[in-house]
Structure 1
Amino acid sequence: MRIDFTGKIVVVTGGAGGFGSATARTFAGAGARVVVSDINLEKAQAVASELEGAIAVRTDVTSPESITELFETVRTEFGGLDILVNNAGAPTPKRDLVDTSLDDINWLININYRSTVLASQAALPLMKGREGANIVNVASISARRPRPGGTVYNSTKAGVESFTLALAAEVAPEVRVNSVSPVISETGFITSIYGHNDLSDADRQRLVTGIPLGRTADTQDVANTIAFLASDLASFHTGVNLQVDGGRSIN
């Protein structure tokens, strides 16, 4: 069976980043019209320019007002919404909890957890009456297999998993809600943690230790899983979390 999103309207937050841009391209390649939402408008426009019928919207997901403006744009431009991918999020540089500032704690909660809650809240009225409407949230395998130095980040992603379950129960059967939990990927995420773009061989080896398939996640691995969960192939899936982790969760 072929995944087909012809005629569907899709919002991808963090749509200019590694997972987000791969996800936007995957949906567009299957016929969807995509709203590429990102705080970096120039990069969002670059992604949208590659995709037929796509638009770019600058969104700061730590701002409730900016989230409201995003979905008002969706309402105005398209009249409704079929799929929301809550992908926007970020870590901080690795540090122990005792060295983590209150500002960093609040920022992590706002960008990873609160943004998912508020975007879903704003999206749901636009999904009313639309067959197959669904939300896919991007959590992280670190919620279940945490590494030191990211306690607050890890727990915000655990919150995303729990929110997915709770919302799935609340809005069924009209809307499905699922999540994915990727293992670390060599995207801008790496820069946020390590302060540089490229991993050393030693860093890479340390990261893949404990991943049975022996590599980090590719952005397309994650995009494919999101697309599956959003598609009719997963029409009986809600409240599901799929680990895109090369086996990290079982090791």
Structure 2
Amino acid sequence: MTTASTTPRVAIVTGGADGFGAAICDRFSQEGWKVLILDLNQQKGEEKTRQDGNLRYMFGDVASRATWEQALQSVQAEFGRVDLVVNNAGITGNPTPTHLKDIAEYEKTFRVNVLPIFLSTQVIAPAMMEQGNGAFVNITSTGCTRPRPGFAFYNSSKAAVSVATKTMALEYAPKIRFNCVAPAVGQTSMLQASIGQGADSQERLRKIEESLPMRRVTQPSDIANAVWYLGTDQSSFVTGTTLEVDGGRGV
């Protein structure tokens, strides 16, 4: 059901050119929202905007305050408001034991996965408070509660996202809601890169699927539907929570 409003609702989605982010953009567009995609993948970002008139694309590093300031100026100039921020962009890094991790990879993981949560709130939350309402949905991971070896600092970066989100839910209530969605491994280009393209790739995928009680990986539409719920008035009394969309992995 499309949210009733005299003016269109507006979302900013990071990493919206591909994977979970692209499905989130499509879901909100189908409901009549206007969506600004923030992504470094200019080719895919611009391609999505050519296919859908509700989408806008902006090239930018979400770990830069200037990107967020430009994004806010863009949506306010065109639409006069911003109703939702979805912090979806993230990286996993290479699966290696901690003593073999490169310090640059450690720093990049926190810069990409955690810093945008801080920056987006600093820049966008004041605008939401001024208009009287808004919501943030931050994508975390089941790695917070069911960590996998080799990803100690990816897991801990996503735990930081979860705790920050809960804390900001308290700081900004009742005007702004903050929630998380926690996927299990998903059907994205990131998964394809991890299992490879060779003859053994399907066997690797089968083992991943068998590790999940629902016997399949997370689909982008699963995450898009969860974000739709948490990002709209359907969840108007929900804040500070993490919705696990993981096929039972966290049980």
Scaled by the length of structure 2, the TM-score of the pair is 0.92
CA 1:213/1:69 → structure 2, altered by over 3 Å: closer, same or farther? same
- CA-based RMSD of the aligned residues comes to 1.9
Query: How far apart are the structure 2 equivalents of 1:99 and 1:179?
Result: 30
1:95 CA displacement: 1.1
Amino acid at match of 1:4: T
1:10 CA displacement: 0.6
Matched, 1:58 2:67: no
Amino acid at match of 1:67: W
Partner of 2:211: 210
Structure 2 residue matching 1:248: 3-state secondary structure: coil
Query: How far apart are the structure 2 equivalents of 1:5 and 1:218?
Result: 28
1:76 CA displacement: 2.7
Moved over 4 A (4+): 194-199
Matched, 1:22 2:23: yes
Query: How far apart are the structure 2 equivalents of 1:95 and 1:165?
Result: 29
> Which stretch of structure 1 is more off in the superposition, 126-135 or 4-13?
126-135
Mark the runs of 5 or more structure 1 residues left unpaired by the alignment: none
Structure 2 residue matching 1:128: 3-state secondary structure: helix
Matched, 1:81 2:87: no
Q: Contact conserved, 1:93 with 1:193, CA < 8 A, in 2?
A: no
Mark the runs of 5 or more structure 2 residues left unpaired by the alignment: none
> Which stretch of structure 1 is more off in the superposition, 158-167 or 130-139?
130-139
Query: How far apart are the structure 2 equivalents of 1:231 and 1:154?
Result: 28
Amino acid at match of 2:217: T
Query: How far apart are the structure 2 equivalents of 1:133 and 1:209?
Result: 39
CA 1:170/1:192 → structure 2, altered by over 3 Å: closer, same or farther? farther
Q: How does 1:1-251 map to 2 (within 5 A)?
A: 2-4=1-3, 7-130=8-131, 132-191=133-192, 193-194=194-195, 200-250=201-251
Amino acid at match of 2:39: D
1:192 CA displacement: 5.0
Q: Contact conserved, 2:195 with 2:204, CA < 8 A, in 1?
A: no
Query: How far apart are the structure 2 equivalents of 1:5 and 1:126?
Result: 21
Scaled by the length of structure 1, the TM-score of the pair is 0.92
Q: Deviation digits for residues 55-76 of structure 1, max 9, x if unmatched?
A: 1001112333333322232233
> Which stretch of structure 1 is more off in the superposition, 37-46 or 163-172?
37-46
